[in-house]
Structure 1
Amino acid sequence: MSKSGQELHYPFEVKEFEPKELEEVRKRFTKAPYDDFIRVGPKGYVFYKGFLKYAPKIYNFALRPDDTFVVSFPKSGTTWVQEMVWMIANDCDYEGSVNIPLTHRYQFLEWGMLFNNKHIQEIADEYSKSDDEKKKLLAAKLKSSDVDICANKPSPRFIKSHLPLSLLPPTLLDTCKVVHVARNPRDVLVSYYYHIKTVAKLRYDIELKQLWNLFINDQLEWTPYFENVKESWTRREHPNMLFLFYEDLLKDLPSAVKRVAKFLGKTMTEDQVSRLCDHLSFENFKKKNSLVEFSAVSSDNVLVRKGKSGGWRQYFDEEMKQQATNWMEDNLRDSDFKFPFYEN
């Protein structure tokens, strides 16, 4: 509903998972069951059912010309690119970066759907009564709706989403700057696996191979992966779209910083670029306490792990490698999309 009480327009069909499929997908959770799962739109993007609470608000979100979006499929280097974009847009405000968590500098539009279940709200209630300030901050975050917070936030706003362009406001690219970062899906899957295995109290009971099968069969949140990425890829020539590859950032970070600066209309000296690249190096970046507020539930920085490319080779058996080759070929057969340094 809008503030005026009128029903918000939402043009996409929503289908719930069939009972047998839902039972299979929910096996991975060790705690109280999460929401049911749904598929949205003609491409069948997968979300928790709680997404429906926020989807119309997101689709009808009132954009501003000075909004900056960072979008991606999860675990594609989003946090790294968020920091880069924010720093460049804010003239390398190192003090602000240190003192303001990234989760406060960016609003994550569909955040609320992740915590729309009894188990998470019980954690939030528990943490809100704690004497630990970090836990109190996390409790407030778990109870918040970023799309509502963002609507009332002063400009300029920085916004994160893992949604495909089709589920974001229709005038997004004609109104705002959008940076999309894509990563080889095999590395995405490994990063996703370690992410969900690390977060305390939210642990999954699943093996990598099981998660891989959910991923390639479009049974994991935000899948289908390639549809998400290709929606941005096809709009890469739009003047308000900057499409980045995670692998390119790893290979030549200074060039990526310069591309982002040019895209945002910022001028940087070589010294400024060099200092920012040092700030963004994974050795320094992973140590930053200002990135997220999740230290209350995990001793690790759950959004920044190794910062490597090609690590999937250590985890995939021969069957998975062949599945990956076939799956990628099938999904890219009619597209000019290609990952840097792609190998069969």
Structure 2
Amino acid sequence: MSSEYPLEIFDIDEELNVRLLHDFTGERTGFVQVGPDKWFLPRKYKDQAANFYNLQVRPDDTWVVTYPRSGTTWTQEMVWLIANNLDYETARRIPQTERFPFFEFSLFVHDEIKSELLKLNAGNPEKLKLVEQISRPGYEVLNEMKSPRFIKTHLPFSLLPPNLLDVGCKVVYVARNPKDVAVSFYHLNRLIRTQGYLGDFPRYWDYFENNLHPWAPYWSHVTEGWDHRHNPSVLFLFYEEMNKNLPATINKVAKFLERGPLNDEQVSSLVNYLNIKNFRNNPAVNFDLHRQIGLLNEGEEEFIRKGKNGSWKDEFTPELSRRADQWIQRNLEHTDLRFP
């Protein structure tokens, strides 16, 4: 590759590509794998990789980096509110997607999907504007944003700007156990039109385990995060611990962002705001606008789901669970990462 972008990008095998396009109807061209870890992304990444990799990072940026469905939206809202002096009024008024842009989401808005959405929303300037927004590359959006910027990404550290941890910005990384991640991501893949997954859960798990779905491989992603946990620019969190003790997490995040300590009343108000029932009914975070433009498929589970630990039990058969446990065991042999 050029000096602009150091990793090789390969098209996946054509037969496999055809099968994936049949099951994941949001992508229409195909998929690539990137670098030695074989990061799995839509083919559009090939043309834009250097732009993502070479984004100008600013010292006052705050990033939330996660594998998908690891408590990302919840963490973003907590981080944004702590960094913005608990400004609930603005948080409710401005959608999270505007306050905290999703760096690479545009990669998943295939040109054909974009055309379908434009057609669907013809005659409504507000909705057409939103379709343009979601299909605009994140690096363009971020280059125009005033500081301080808040940035969400599911890209692993090795695909992010190489100076990310050297310039003084803050990175919150959240990890969640893979069985809960897979179940939650399966439902999101069915819900969101840009993924458009049509198969059942066992087939989805097959893709998940074999690193054949967006942002995989899971283990490379979380172990990269884990390996950076001692860097002063990184706060590594487990979703399970956040869920178990949210006040302690809030204090930890406030300290990391140099916004603490918060008093008991402030912590309590934020805990209440982030309570899953309130969160699910909050249009600023639950993808309400995206539903209005037709980005979410009807009849699927909501964007903000249960928010609890152990919901994997709803989808895994005993046999599939045993297989998953063996896969987890094999992968934990190579790391001292352990889920709470």
> Which category of TM-score, normalised to the shorter sequence, fits these structures?
over 0.9
Distance 1:24-1:203 versus aligned 2 partners, 3 A rule? closer
Q: 65, 78, 86: which is aligned to 1:71? A: 65
Match of 2:48 in 1: 54
Match of 1:327 in 2: 327
Q: 96, 115, 122: which is aligned to 1:122? A: 115
Match of 1:199 in 2: 192
Match of 1:215 in 2: 208
Residue 201 (structure 1) shift: 8.3
Is there any run of 5+ residues in structure 1 with no aligned partner, and where?
A: 1-6
Whether 1:261 and 2:254 are equivalent positions in the alignment is: yes
Most deviating of 314-323 and 224-233: 314-323
Q: Would the aligned equivalents of 1:68 and 1:177 in 2 still touch at CA under 8 Å?
A: yes
Residue 55 (structure 1) shift: 1.6
Residue 65 of structure 1 aligns to a residue whose secondary structure is coil
Match of 1:229 in 2: 222
Most deviating of 243-252 and 50-59: 50-59
Whether 1:247 and 2:243 are equivalent positions in the alignment is: no
Figure out how many residues of one structure are paired with residues of the other and give that number.
331
Give the whole-Å Cα distance in 2 for the aligned partners of 1:85 and 1:274. 15
Match of 1:280 in 2: 274
Deviation by residue 1:57-102 (Cα, 9 ceiling, x = unmatched) = 1111101100000000111110000000000000101011000100
Letter aligned with residue 248 of structure 2: S
Deviation by residue 1:30-78 (Cα, 9 ceiling, x = unmatched) = 57x5231110011110000111233211111101100000000111110
Residue 231 of structure 2 aligns to a residue whose secondary structure is coil
Residue 24 (structure 1) shift: 2.3
Residue 198 (structure 1) shift: 2.3
Give the whole-Å Cα distance in 1 for the aligned partners of 2:52 and 2:25. 30
Residue 238 (structure 1) shift: 0.5
Give the whole-Å Cα distance in 2 for the aligned partners of 1:76 and 1:208. 18
Whether 1:150 and 2:142 are equivalent positions in the alignment is: yes
Most deviating of 302-311 and 57-66: 302-311
Q: Would the aligned equivalents of 2:67 and 2:222 in 1 still touch at CA under 8 Å?
A: yes
Most deviating of 41-50 and 21-30: 21-30
Residue 130 (structure 1) shift: 3.4
Give the whole-Å Cα distance in 1 for the aligned partners of 2:40 and 2:76. 24
Q: Would the aligned equivalents of 2:71 and 2:239 in 1 still touch at CA under 8 Å?
A: yes
Letter aligned with residue 93 of structure 1: D
Residue 271 of structure 1 aligns to a residue whose secondary structure is helix
Match of 2:128 in 1: 136
Match of 1:14 in 2: 9
Letter aligned with residue 210 of structure 1: R
Match of 1:337 in 2: 337
Give the whole-Å Cα distance in 2 for the aligned partners of 1:14 and 1:200. 25
Residue 63 of structure 2 aligns to a residue whose secondary structure is strand
Residue 156 of structure 1 aligns to a residue whose secondary structure is coil
Match of 1:3 in 2: none
Give the whole-Å Cα distance in 2 for the aligned partners of 1:202 and 1:67. 29
Deviation by residue 1:292-323 (Cα, 9 ceiling, x = unmatched) = 32121246884311101101112111221111
Residue 108 of structure 1 aligns to a residue whose secondary structure is coil
Give the whole-Å Cα distance in 2 for the aligned partners of 1:131 and 1:334. 53
Residue 174 of structure 1 aligns to a residue whose secondary structure is coil
Q: Would the aligned equivalents of 1:278 and 1:284 in 2 still touch at CA under 8 Å?
A: yes
Deviation by residue 1:151-208 (Cα, 9 ceiling, x = unmatched) = 1110000001101101101111122100011111111111111112223686321000
Match of 1:315 in 2: 315
Match of 1:88 in 2: 82
Give the whole-Å Cα distance in 1 for the aligned partners of 2:149 and 2:302. 24
Letter aligned with residue 168 of structure 1: L
Give the whole-Å Cα distance in 1 for the aligned partners of 2:14 and 2:193. 28
Percent same amino acid at aligned positions? 38
Q: Would the aligned equivalents of 1:37 and 1:47 in 2 still touch at CA under 8 Å?
A: yes
Q: 287, 290, 294: which is aligned to 2:290? A: 294
Deviation by residue 1:93-115 (Cα, 9 ceiling, x = unmatched) = 10110001000011211111101
Give the whole-Å Cα distance in 2 for the aligned partners of 1:54 and 1:313. 38
Q: Would the aligned equivalents of 1:25 and 1:214 in 2 still touch at CA under 8 Å?
A: no
Q: RMSD across aligned C-alpha pairs, in angstroms?
A: 1.8
Give the whole-Å Cα distance in 2 for the aligned partners of 1:266 and 1:136. 38
Q: 262, 267, 270: which is aligned to 2:264? A: 270
Q: Would the aligned equivalents of 1:79 and 1:303 in 2 still touch at CA under 8 Å?
A: no
Is there any run of 5+ residues in structure 2 with no aligned partner, and where?
A: none
Residue 27 (structure 1) shift: 2.2
Residue 131 (structure 1) shift: 2.9
Give the whole-Å Cα distance in 1 for the aligned partners of 2:195 and 2:162. 34
Q: 74, 91, 104: which is aligned to 1:110? A: 104
Letter aligned with residue 276 of structure 2: F
Give the whole-Å Cα distance in 2 for the aligned partners of 1:202 and 1:62. 29
